[in-house]
Amino acid sequence: MSLIRGRFHKAADKLAAEYTASSSVDWRLYPYDIKGSIAHVRMLAKQKIISEKEAEMITEGLASIREEMEQGKFQFRVEQEDIHMSIEARLIEKIGEVGRKLHTARSRNDQVALDLRLFTKEAISETITRLRKLQQALVNLAERNKDVTLPGYTHLQPAQPVLLAHHLLAYFEMLSRDAGRFSDCRRRADVMPLGSGAVAGVAYNIDRDFLASELGFSRLSQNSIDAVSDRDFVVEYEAAASLCMMHLSRLAEEVILWSSAEFGFIELDDAYATSSSIMPQKKNPDVVELARGKTGRVYGRLMAMLAMMKALPLSYDRDLQEDKEGLFDTVDTLLSTLEVITGVIKTVKLNTENMERAAGRDYILATDLADYLVSRGEAFRSAHNIVARLVSYAIDRGKSFRELSLDEYQGFSPRFGQDVYSITVASSVAARDVIGGTAPSQVARALSRAKKLLGEVEGEGWS
């Protein structure tokens, strides 16, 4: 029988009980629930709300329930609604009447808010750790291939040559912003709600500061009504996860493109590729395709959460129980995606010759020719126009820039001289010597900044 149906004359309808039960989802909160309960009873004893002896019995009971959970011996019962009631019911079964004192000065509303905050804080730490590992893998790949150039693309058309390291560090920047967002989110998750009770606060002489320090929170919630109904931290995690997945989907997309026969820039390690059931020659990038695909479900979880919370009257409403499935799924999806993409990056084989070849193709140095004319006194817009006509001329004759004679160049502008032939991919890259540009010296600076950031414990420099 449920612990809390005292006022009713019959048990809940079976379907209604199953419909409202959440233990199949919220069982994952058990370590946080038990941790929170142990801190709570310690506080109750310290404040003489229950005796030391009672607190000890409850603490031991809770610890042994944790063991049952860890060994998979715990029986969930649907009539107990959720993990919180299941643990309490089991406690009473194990230690008897004294177990009924655990819920003194507490409501499931502040209890569930606490558990979810503890879960989210831990999830954030793990997320940041995995973001750093992926960043490290990108930095290592960049370091090992410092001198490789490839086309920088705009509109997926070759635009200007860039260093591969520069391209890889673009992802480093995105992931730094992600880590920054997760640590912002942690600040707002790091608020201790116990003491809020059901809605109005509790009518006992409790010590909230003690609870916060036992449970590792830096602040106390300041309004009980808000504290039991606030799930901003869930929305924020899911929003930060959505942005992060968007970044990962862009990386995944480039891995897919680059491993195609048409690009031929990279080859996936066999461990991260799949084969076709019909075409024996295929090496498919399913792993990264799924990373790209799972982005959609993470966005969906964010939208579901925002829609669920829209216009909810204060304070706690049972709708809020729907917060967990999406959060857990978001955390699982993001963590596994980060891990698998890190594996892909660590093991990917580069076909640097193909990259270099592509970097030297397709009039990719056209901007440099325009810049050359500017350095000889031409206005940029006119220089752009001259080079555009030159490109069209060269395309018509099937010639590259190198294959044009100086006469042909000078037919477009008398400013062209012999030194136009010294414009190369390397000179083009070296010329972009601005902070944030692709010149080797700038990229070397960016790499050492990245390594320094990864070396810092808390990543203070993360945006």
Q: Judged by CB, which is closer to ligand ARG: 82, or 368?
A: 82
Q: Judged by CB, which is closer to ligand ARG: 23, or 295?
A: 23
Question: DSSP state, 74?
Answer: P
Q: Is 112 in the site for ligand ARG (CB under 6 A)?
A: yes
Question: DSSP state, 285?
Answer: -
Neighbouring C-beta atoms of residue 444, cutoff 10 Å: 14
Neighbour-count burial of 135, counting CB atoms closer than 10 A to its CB (0-12 exposed, 13-18 middle, 19+ buried): buried
Q: Is 224 in the site for ligand ARG (CB under 6 A)?
A: no
Beta bridge partners of 150: 162
Q: Judged by CB, which is closer to ligand ARG: 103, or 133?
A: 103
| Angle ∠(25,26,28) on CA atoms, nearest 5 | 100
Neighbouring C-beta atoms of residue 63, cutoff 10 Å: 11
Tell me which of 80, 109, 127, 342 binds ligand ARG, using CB under 6 A: 109
User: Is 276 noted as a catalytic residue in this protein?
Assistant: yes
Residue ranges in 145-273 assigned as alpha helix (H)? 164-189, 208-214, 224-229, 232-258
Question: Rounded to 5 degrees, what are φ and ψ at 437?
Answer: -90, 180
Q: Judged by CB, which is closer to ligand ARG: 4, or 444?
A: 4
Tell me which of 108, 121, 181, 186 binds ligand ARG, using CB under 6 A: 108
CB of 313 to ligand ARG, least distance (A): 14
Q: By CB under 6 A, which span of 106-114, 199-207, 295-303, 330-338 interacts with ligand ARG?
A: 106-114
CA 287, CA 43: separation in Å to the nearest integer?
A: 48
CB of 273 to ligand ARG, least distance (A): 41
Q: Is 22 in the site for ligand ARG (CB under 6 A)?
A: yes
Neighbour-count burial of 81, counting CB atoms closer than 10 A to its CB (0-12 exposed, 13-18 middle, 19+ buried): buried
Exposure b/e, 199-224, CB count within 10 A at least 16 = b: bebbeeebbbeebbebbebeebbeeb
CB of 112 to ligand ARG, least distance (A): 4
Angle, to 10 degrees, between the axis of helix 232-258 and the axis of helix 108-144? 30
Exposure b/e, 272-299, CB count within 10 A at least 16 = b: bbeeeeeeeeeeebebbebbbebbeebb
CB of 90 to ligand ARG, least distance (A): 16
How many of the chain's residues bind ligand ARG (CB under 6 A)? 11
CB of 306 to ligand ARG, least distance (A): 17
Tell me which of 33, 54, 82, 238 binds ligand ARG, using CB under 6 A: 82
Neighbouring C-beta atoms of residue 156, cutoff 10 Å: 7
Three-state DSSP at 340 gives helix
Strand (E) positions, 78-156?
149-154
CA 261, CA 284: separation in Å to the nearest integer?
A: 11
Neighbour-count burial of 30, counting CB atoms closer than 10 A to its CB (0-12 exposed, 13-18 middle, 19+ buried): buried
* Interface characters, 330-369, with ligand ARG (x: CB under 6 A): ----------------------------------------
Q: Judged by CB, which is closer to ligand ARG: 302, or 320?
A: 320
Q: Judged by CB, which is closer to ligand ARG: 189, or 420?
A: 189
CB of 234 to ligand ARG, least distance (A): 12
Looking at residues 397 to 456 of the shown chain, list those that interact with ligand ARG (rule: CB under 6 A).
Answer: none
User: Is 84 noted as a catalytic residue in this protein?
Assistant: no
Catalytic one among 260, 275, 276, 448? 276
Q: Is 114 in the site for ligand ARG (CB under 6 A)?
A: no
Q: Judged by CB, which is closer to ligand ARG: 18, or 339?
A: 18
Q: Judged by CB, which is closer to ligand ARG: 308, or 443?
A: 308
CB of 328 to ligand ARG, least distance (A): 12
* Interface characters, 306-325, with ligand ARG (x: CB under 6 A): ----------x-x-xx----
Active site (catalytic) residues: 155, 276
Q: Residues interacting with ligand ARG, by CB under 6 A?
A: 22, 26, 81-82, 108-109, 112, 316, 318, 320-321
